[in-house]
Amino acid sequence: MKKGRKHSGRIQIKFLLILPVFFLQTESSSSQIFAGKWKGYYYDETDKRNYNKKQFLSIEFVLNIDSSYSAYSYTNLSDSRAECRLRYEIIDQDSIRLEEVEVLKPANQVDYCLQMMNLRISRSENSNELILSGRWHSSTESCGKGAIFFQKQR
């Protein structure tokens, strides 16, 4: 009987030593889920001439040393490419909110419509790739709103 208790105690101690390592690995892998480049497109439902035209853009999440991200969006304009700094908020395990908060390039861009995106996190059925999809709207109503989609690049 006494021997059984010692064995049981050893198992409990080993379990308690292994448990924190498991949680550290889980947290580390989940904190890296967004890191990297994402390519995608959006539709502007308010633009009647180009209602079904895909507008291409990409986002990038750079993993910082403290496990936070620096995030950026890149949008091809008619004569240049816009780069914006993004603010992100992880809503829950399958939702994230992104908001363009500052135009970085071109430096002289004054009439750029900043986007706010509410996105669901999922995986594609065919390739198991990570996908962000949802709705976007602009900082001003006259700039548009619609559907948006991103797929993580390998």
Contact present, 121 and 94 (Cβ < 8 Å): yes
DSSP secondary structure, 13-32, as one string = HHHHHHHHHHHHHHHHHHHT
pTM given for the model: 0.75
Are the beta carbons of 88 and 111 closer than 8 angstroms?
no
| pLDDT in single tens digits along all 154 residues of the chain | 444 444 555 544 443 444 333 333 333 344 578 999 999 999 988 877 766 788 899 999 999 999 899 999 999 877 778 899 999 999 998 999 999 999 998 877 666 789 999 999 999 888 788 999 999 998 777 788 999 999 999 8
Could you say which of 3.30.390.30, 3.40.50.300, 3.40.50.720, 2.40.128.120 is the CATH number of the domain covering 33-152? 2.40.128.120
| Extents of the domains making up the chain | 1-31, 33-152
Question: Given this model, what pLDDT does residue 84 score?
Answer: 94
Nearest one of 90, 109, 80 to 34, comparing CA atoms: 90
93 neighbors 110 (Cβ within 8 angstroms): no
Distances in Å between the alpha carbon of 82 and those of 93, 119, 140, 153? 30, 21, 18, 20
Give CA–CA dist 148/129, Å, rounded.
17
